[in-house]
Every structure is written in C-alpha cells, then in structure tokens.
Structure 1
C-alpha cells in the first residue's frame, strides 16, 4: 500500500473535504479508484492526511475509464461497492463508457466528481475555466441512477448518504456526486460527527404479492414443461442453492447467459445446452417447447422470445424483474418489451424463496455429479480457443478458478460453472477496453479468498485497456490474463463477411480495416513494461501448457502475469450464427 508520512499534530483546523472523507469512511467504502486531478485536490489531501490512505485506500489508475471499470469488477466479485473519482469535466468524459457499462450491468459504483469553483470569482485563470461546467452531471444523467452537485458541506454529506442508498436499491446502478473545488477547500469551524449510516441504508428487498405468488405457484405446478431463464440474480451460495432446489422441485429445464455471472450449475442435468451470449438453437427450441417460462430478470427477455419464435403463441410467461424502474427514453439497454401473463416487480431472490415455500415438497433428487472429461493431451497444429480452454483446465486442475471475463469466441461448453464465483460475466454495455480494468478490480476483491483469478481477454479489448494492468502490478494484486489474440477486431470481420455475401462481393476482403497486425502488438513486452510477468507470444497448445505452468506459479506467489496466446480466428457456431442471423420481421 502507498503509506503516507504521518501528519503533524493538527492545529484544530478542519476543511470541507475532511467532513466528506469522514462520510466515505462511515459508509465503509474500502477503496477509491482514481486518476489524480486538481479539481479534487482537497478531498485527495483529506484521504491522505486525515484518513491515512486507509478505509478508504486510494488506488491509482492510469485512465479514468480504468478507475470506473475497476470499481465495476470489484463489485462483481465481492458484491460490495467502491468509489471511483474522476477529475472535473475532462475526467468524466474519459469515464463515460465505463459508467455506461456499469449502468447496463446494473452494478452500483459511487462516482465522485469535482469541478473548478462554481463561484467564478474564485477561479484560477484559464485552467479552472476550462475545467468547470454549468451542469456536469448532464454528461451522464441518462445512464446513472442519480446525480448531485451539492452547494455546501452539509449538503455534500447528505448527497453521499443518498447516493449510497440509491445505488444499492434494486435495480442497482452507478451514481454521481460532483464536489465543488471551493467547497472542498472551505475552512470549517469544527468537524461534524460522522453520520449513523445504518439509518440511511437501502431498503430490504420487497416480498412478492401473495395473490400473485399463489397464481405463479399454481401455474408452475400445472406446467408439463416449465423452463427457468436465470438472469440477474443474487450471487450468494444460499441464493444459488435456492435456485437449484426450485428447478429440481419443478423438474424445470434451466438456461443461463454468458453475458451474466454464473447463476446455476451448467453441468446440472436440467441445464439446457451450454450457456451463450445469444440464445443457442437448443435454448430457442426449449423456449418453443415450454408451456411456462419463469424469467428471473433475464436480459432482453422480449428480444430473446422474439428470436425464438415464442413471443405470441408460445408459452405462458412469468416475468420477475424490477428493471423497468430504470428504463428511460435515451438508452435502449432495456431490450424488447416482453409479454407477461404474471409480472413480479421484484428482485428474483425473494420470489424464488417464496415459491419454494409455496410449492409442495418433493423427494430430493440424488446429488448430481458433473463428469468433466479430462482435458485431452495437447493437440498439434495452430492454437484455437478450444485448445486454449483445454490448456487452461490442465494448468488449473484442482484449483478454485474464477473466470473474470471470456472472449466473444468462447463456447460455453468449454468450461462448467458450479459456483457463483466461477464466472463473473461480461461488462454490460459491450464497450471494448473494459476487460483489463474489470479484471484488476475483480482480482483485488478475490485477493485472499484462495481463488485463482483468470481473465481471458480479446486482443482489441486488451490493447485499449492495457495500462489498467499497471494498477495490479503496483498494488501486488494476483491476476492471470490470457490474451486470446486473433490479431483482429474479428467480430467486425464476421459482419463484413455477411455483408460481402449479401452483395456478391469478395469475402476475402473482410479483414481490411479490421486487422491488428503489421506490426503485431507484442503484449508480453507491453505487460513487462507495466511490471507484470509477460510471456509469449505462444501459438501452440504445447507451448501454452508451458507458459501457463509458469504464469500460474507466478500468480500463486502473489504476482500478476499476462500470456499472449495467438489463436486462430473463429467463433463458436452458435455465436457466429447469432451475429449474422437476420432479425425476425414478422
């Protein structure tokens, strides 16, 4: 940790930022990820010289987008929000993509902003003018739950309490509190006592309406072929077990989504095919065959039903989601409007618990055993993503692994998830460059848990966000990054191939304007320059075996490592099909 020199005995002077820092400590915010900026120099001083850079501890990031991504990843691994500080309007503009990701992923992040003095008479020439905005929160108001620019120290303290309460209320999301630089540096006669934050806690999850619950239980009991879509659900082992019991009691088939963290054991006999980023043909068929679908906050339920042809004349739908509370007219992250025969405006976990209590008990099925086939010996020839997954399984055998991120080309059949922390999902907004920052945040949250944090990132994602990895090296955060490097923005090649075929033009030109080559970025050298162990490039499964053995040992010793794995371009069939499929127009 960056340890400051102890401050000299104070002369009993206090400052606005001291009172603000005290609230952050009272809220038990463990970290503030930041890229330094003069607009919050007052708060920075208070975090260092009043709080000693502990509770919260500052985490230096090399880009504001990384700071928010780090906070995003930390929450996904821990269920605990942290803060990200962004310097004035320019830092906020840097951080907007990561804020949108957190919004789409329904993740709470306390974004602390700052502005040059609102009082124009107090601005320094030039710099304070270009770093002051009339309504800074307007930059992100469409994709935050709430924002404020308090005009006094008491108002700033209240704003932080309200922000913490709002971001943790379902559906969760980022909030923004913008602190006037002059307010931070305002002298105070005395420091107010820290607030009793328990009196400002988020409300508990609401229980479902009894009548609605009874109707849902009856519908599910009478269902001959029920299907449960596991979407945004609770991450605790207890919530996981409750979902397993519900599916087993109903004999319901279950689907999960690679866009989201692990929510149900993918090796369970009731799980429908492998999870994917888009609904695979096996899931679409299951949706058409189902007579009742219980959707637990499934991402874009309307679009998924439509793609499967199960929207109108298909199954009865029980929708469980509080997400509509966030929907607005600016962003269409809410997806298509689904039909629902029963609609719970609740978080899924209380509904699952209530359904278990309402449904008659049945004989408990014997525990299922996932028969993971041992990874085959290294295959000859160029490395592909299945070979990368096989090598990773061999290298981590016997360990608890958290897959923080996976690339778009990943096939869900390559790795089973049996615990809520086995996989943390994607970034929500689909913004390239988030992977490294989120990986660092998740790995920080997993430090000391005994789990091995692994992020398999695309090359474009890594290149955009690479400098985020310096923070892992600096703070000694154990992390393994494997770059699934196909030397291309390959997602766009898939789209260009489709357009070329439709227009009768040369498919061979799909790579033009997409390739990341000539020169090929040397990720291993770049990682070494940031303080990580860099290995590669490796282009065969045998070479990857050796690289992983070395990297895993380094991470287990407390270091951060990156492997540049050169893979052949390609997507899992279901992914490639979904990317190029014509949307339904009927």
Structure 2
C-alpha cells in the first residue's frame, strides 16, 4: 500500500534530498509507516532520517548541512506547535539564505471517521489553526498546501526551484492528515520526478552600462574600497574578487561576515568589523569609490569613530551596491544606502565583467604609479592590523601580581585553538569553523585566519543557538559532499560559541544527536558569565548611566554566581560519550594549561571520534 506520504518521501529522494531532520507527531502516521516499508523492502530509507528532539536544532542542523554541501535538506515537524518550535532558526535560514525544505503536517479536517486519518486524539482540536503557514510565511520564499497526491511532485519541485534560486532560502509545505494518509494509485510511485526541467534561476549579470560605469569609476578612483559580508557563499565569486582587487590594488574590508570572502593571507584584506562604533575601516571616510557587494550591513550611518567623525562614505563618494538576489533588502522594514547605482547580479559574474572591462581600459595594474602607491599604503595598514593581532594574542611576560588573576582573553583562546589545529596538519579545505561567538564575532573571524571559501560559516542571522545543531548537520553534510583530505568528510569541525549561545543551542538535544549519528566536533565556549551583548547595547545608549557601573549579575544579564558547567551538560546529554573540561587562567602556567587542554580536546575529536567541549573562562561581564 502506498499513500500520499509515500509519494512525498519518494519525491524528496528523487530530487536529490539525502537527509531529513525530523521531529515526529500525530500528523505523521503514514510517513512513519512508509519509512518502515522501505526498511523492510530495502533495508534503509530514502531520504535518511535524522531524529531531532528539538525543532530549532533540526532546522539549524539542516541549515548547517546546506551550508556544508550547497544542497538543500528537508525538515519535518509537527503541525502548528512544531512550526512554532522551529523558533529563531527560521530567521537564520531566511537571513542566511539557506535552501531548506520544511514540511509540517496539519490537524485533520474531519472528525467522524469520514476519511482515513480523521481526528482521533484530543490534541487535534487544540492544534487546528486558521492559517498555519502564516506562522512562518514572511520568512519563507514559498509556502504551499498539499491538497492531493497527484501534484506532490510538482509542489516539491517548485518549492526547491525557488529555494535554490537567488536569493536562496527556506520554503514551507504543509498537508492535512487525511490528504497525507490517502492511498494512491501505485503507478504514481513509478513516475520519474527529476529536477532536470526545474532548474534554479541562472546567475544574472550586470547590464553593459552598469558594468562599464563601475569599471571606469574604479580605474579612475584615487581611494577605492570594496566592502562585502557573504560573497564567499559563492566560491567562484572569491576568485573574481581576488582578480579585481589585485589588478587595481583595491583594499577589501569585511563587515558582519557569515562566510570566508577573502583568504586571510590576501595582501589587500585589511580587516573585519561587526560595526561597533569606532571599528569600521578609516578608509571608508576617504574613499571616492565604494563597491558594496553581497554585504548585509556595510556601515551604520550614525556611528562615529574616536575623533567624532561619522563612519560612512563622504557625500562626494560614488557608491555602487551589488547583490545576487536582494539588493534593496525587501524583507527588511527599513534599509537604505545612499548609492549611485543598485544592481541585482551574481557576484562572480559581475566581478568577472568588471575585471574584463578594467583590463580593456589599459591604464590599470601595478604598472600604474597611483595603483602602486595605493598598494604600498594598503600593505602598511595590513601590517599594522596583523601586528595588533599578534600583540593581543600574547600572554604577559610575568605572572600577574593582582589579587584576582588575569582571565583568558578571546584572542588568546583563538591562538591556542589555531596552534592545536595547525599541529594536526589538516588541509584548509578539510577544516570547518562555525562562528557564533556573538560579542567575539570579529575576534573569531580574524584570529582563526581561515584561507578557503567555506572554511568558516555563520548563521547569517541573529537568532542565537544555531551552531550546535549546525555542527551536527555540517559533519553529516561534509561526508555527503566529500570534503576533507580523503573525501570522506571534514577532517575537523569546531563550533566557537558564547556561554549564552551554548544554552540557546539546546545542548541536551544537539549532543544526543551528535552521539547517535556519530558527528564529532569540538565546541569552544567563550565563557564570560552571561549575555555580554545586551550589556554592550545598554552602554551604547547609556555609556555613563547607572547600569554602566555594575556587573552583569546585578543587571540580570549575568549567569552567576552559580553558573552551569557547560562541558558536563554535553557529557550528560551524550550518556558520557562526549569529553568536557573547564579551563581558567588562575595560577602560573596559564598559557601552557590552555594549550594542553586545547590539544587534548582536538585529540579526542580526531582520534577518538567523540565530541569535545572546552569551557574557557573569560573575564566576567
């Protein structure tokens, strides 16, 4: 016997979805029945099922999978409550442009046994809502109801066609229980349903006039600047960015990154900022041409640097805004950049067009004295930036004589992690960092010194709790995508999180999943004793206010004085499988203690194939 649910699962497999991250409920009887039919007949299921005790972790895992593979995953949840429990992960998948297909069942619409699947549990009255997809509609690229089995293949393919076209993102399908329980003609199961005739929208190019205008302006510029955030989601765009930046000696500044956009070692990479006041590049104020390409937020107009000058382009600067799918940020209530030109174009295609025109203009390149002089200035800026990073990673030459020992700093922890990973000689393409360190976002992004596109990812959004589930999904996806030295999956995966983020990530679910599905990764917890970001937000408005004079616990943003033991949460959730340790800087040999603990954590993941959690105590907020 086959049902609409049988056809739905078969269609997912036919269109290339290998994994479904699921949280089952009363709306899924036919799905569970068909999965068992598959096991009886074939020994396994298609797609593979990843059981997720929490829905937000499920969607975060699916997003991590999509980020690691470039391919969509499926998420299956339970009626309205399961849809609501997807929580902030919906925001992250939307803002992070992650192609994920979400399916939720819905309460039956019959109650006297008129149809198979009719209401037979009290909760089915409680879970019947007027407009279930409205819960997530504004975050989805597409929502649709499955009304009959015959068009299931069309609905799935249309949803994926939209999800994988720029701006990529999540889609939501839903179906009433009677429809999904309906028995179908077996011939429907034999009809091929490939995506062959349902392609994603082809990457778009700049118009000839727009490409010409940008190229000429960059060639004629005295102080050009490129700003980007997530260009690195498209690896081909990274190569084109390198060509254009080198040909004209254009500095590259990265704001609010959720991807590796430029290798750390690139000679024109001059810094990263998450746009706290005083942290944008000083080149922005003096730039005469600014190319903003695939950037979430390039600058904050009201912010000022330490001298009181606004951190934004001057009024005479030419500003060009390019984005692969949503240059006007139509999903955001208020968004604006004073720009001379706004273009919807694929970053790789657009940069290739611009570079070709630059070459044709003749005067470009390091043979040009102005370009050569600019290159020298960039190297000075970059050298100063690198020296500043070395300085903050260092430990004091002599132990502290203060009554309270000095705490570890985030740069010191990043340096210890970098050293432990470097000692293993993994290939850059086999190493993945997941950055959800919040107030330490820029430290993690800069100090881990990643070199390859896809080497570090973020959620792309601002809902905390992505990294733990995403690590599970990314490890699974790495195997599917053939990442790593041997093409068997990532050699090493690290999630770098704050202590608040760790708790938001539902570690009880995430580490249970990690053990069940054998997805080892290291979690480094930057433990500053609470939520630092809300305190920083308060200080941004009330820098000298009453709250500026008290600690986090008094402000109710702290977790002390009796804080959770984060590493042991993971150990308990995994039934003792995970390894965990807390490390603090008290006493002599703080540097050595940190490096030894980090090396052991890496060893556990690599050699024993277990999760490890290293809880690193920072100065408390």
Distance 1:180 1:157, change over 3 A: farther
The answer to whether structure 1 residue 547 and structure 2 residue 547 are counterparts is no
Which residue matches 1:294? 291
Give CA deviations for 1:149-200 in whole Å, capped at 9, x if unaligned: 1210123322111110011110111110012221121111224213132111
Where does residue 91 of structure 1 map in the other structure?
82
Which residue does the alignment assign to 1:320? 322
Structure 1 residue 376: deviation in Å? 5.6
* Equivalent-residue separation in structure 1 for 2:516 and 2:313 (angstroms): 51
**Residues 1:388 and 2:388 aligned together:** no
Q: Which residue of 2 aligns with 1:175?
A: 171
Q: 2:614 aligns with which of 548, 563, 566?
A: 563
Equivalent residues in 2 for 1:56-135, closer than 5 Å: 56-121=47-112, 122-135=118-131
Q: Report if the CA contact (8 A) 1:228-1:294 is conserved.
A: yes
Distance 1:17 1:474, change over 3 A: same
- Matched ranges for 1:395-410 at <5 A: 395-397=420-422, 398-399=425-426, 400=428, 401-410=431-440
Other structure's SS at 2:217 match: helix
Matched, 1:480 2:522: yes
Q: Return the alpha-carbon distance in structure 2 between the equivalents of residues 515 and 377 of structure 1.
A: 26
- Is the Cα–Cα contact under 8 Å of residues 74 and 102 in structure 2 kept in the other structure? yes
1:446 Cα shift?
A: 2.8
- Which ranges in structure 2 are unaligned for 5 or more consecutive residues? 113-117, 305-309, 400-405, 480-487, 586-590
The answer to whether the Cα contact below 8 Å between 1:65 and 1:97 also exists between their aligned partners in 2 is yes
Pairs within 5 Å for 1:413-432: 413-425=446-458, 427-432=459-464
Once the 2 structures are TM-superposed, how far is the Cα of residue 223 of structure 1 from its aligned partner?
Answer: 1.3
TM-score, scaled relative to structure 1: 0.87
Cα distance in 2 between the residues matched to 1:565 and 1:404: 17
TM-score by length of 2: 0.82
Q: How many Å apart are 1:128 and its aligned residue?
A: 1.7
Q: Cα RMSD (Å) of the superposition?
A: 2.9
Within 5 Å, give how 1:355-374 maps onto structure 2: 355-360=354-359
Aligned to 1:434: 466
Where 2:86 maps in the other structure, the secondary structure is: helix
Query: Separation in 2 of the partners of 1:152 and 1:503?
Result: 61
Cα pair 1:258 1:277 within 8 Å, conserved: yes
Residue 537 in structure 1 maps to residue 589 in structure 2:
no
Q: CA deviation at 1:237?
A: 4.3
Q: Is the 8 A contact 1:554 1:560 kept in 2?
A: yes
How far apart are 1:103 and its partner, in Å? 0.8
SS at match of 1:404: strand
Cα separation, 1, equivalents of 2:328 and 2:287:
29
Task: Write out per-residue CA displacement over residues 27-85 of structure 1, whole angstroms, 9 at most, x where no aligned residue.
Answer: 11111111222212322332443375444111111200100011112222222221111
Match of 1:464 among 496, 499, 504: 504
Deviation larger for 183-192 or 277-286: 277-286
Partner of 1:444: 476
Q: Is the 8 A contact 2:72 2:100 kept in 1?
A: yes
Q: Secondary structure at the match of 1:360?
A: helix
Q: 2:140 aligns with which of 123, 128, 144?
A: 144
Q: Aligned partners of 1:27 and 1:106: how far apart in 2?
A: 20
Q: 1:287–1:305: 8 Å Cα contact kept in structure 2? A: no
Contact 1:486-1:566 at 8 Å conserved across structures: yes
Following superposition, the deviation at residue 17 of structure 1 comes to 1.0
Judge conservation of contact 1:433–1:463 (CA < 8 Å) in 2. Answer: yes
Q: Is the 8 A contact 2:435 2:495 kept in 1?
A: yes
Measure the CA separation in 1 of the matches of 2:495 and 2:456: 10
Give 1:331-346 correspondences, 5 Å limit.
331-332=332-333, 336-346=335-345
| Deviation, structure 1 residue 114 | 0.8
Check the 8 A contact 1:161/1:197 in 2, yes or no. Answer: yes
- Residue aligned with 2:196, SS: helix
Alpha carbons of structure 1 residues 225 and 55: separation in structure 2 relative to 1, 3 Å: farther
Q: Distance in 2 between matches of 1:179 and 1:326?
A: 33
Please say which of residues 73-82 and 494-503 is displaced more in the overlay. 494-503
Distance 2:354 2:110 in 1: 56
Q: Return closer, same or farther for 1:63/1:391 CA change in 2, 3 Å cut-off.
A: same
Judge which range, 228-237 or 337-346, deviates more: 228-237
1:517 shift after superposition: 2.2
Q: How far apart are the structure 2 equivalents of 1:278 and 1:476?
A: 38
1:165 alignment partner in structure 2 = 161
Change (3 A) 1:279 1:351: farther
Offset at residue 444 of structure 1 (A): 2.5
SS in 2 for 1:202: coil
Shift of the 133–229 alpha-carbon distance from structure 1 to 2, 3 Å rule, reads same
Structure-2 separation of matches of 1:306 and 1:291: 20
| CA deviation string 1:190-234 (max 9, x = no partner) | 242131321112121122212221222112211121111123325
Unaligned runs of 5+ in 1: 1-12, 571-586
The residue that corresponds to 1:261 in the other structure is 259
Query: In structure 1, what is the Cα distance between the partners aligned to 2:198 and 2:230?
Result: 25
Is the 8 Å Cα contact of residues 205 and 350 (structure 1) preserved in structure 2?
A: yes
Shift of 1:291: 0.8
2:484 aligns with none
Tell me the distance in 2 between the aligned counterparts of 1:144 and 1:500.
37
Partner of 1:583: none
Asked if the contact 1:288–1:314 (Cα under 8 Å) also holds between the matched residues in 2, the reply is: no
Do the aligned residues in 1 keep the contact of 2:436 with 2:495 (CA within 8 Å)? Answer: yes
Deviations 1:525-557 (A, max 9, x none): 211112242322111343332222222112113
Q: Does the C-alpha gap of structure 1 residues 54 and 314 become closer, same or farther in structure 2, counting only changes over 3 Å?
A: farther
Which residue is 1:526 aligned to? 569
Contact map agreement 1:14 1:188 (CA 8 A) in 2: yes
Deviations 1:370-413 (A, max 9, x none): 98969767975432212211211221113333221141233254
3-state DSSP of counterpart to 2:563:
coil
Number of residue pairs matched? 553
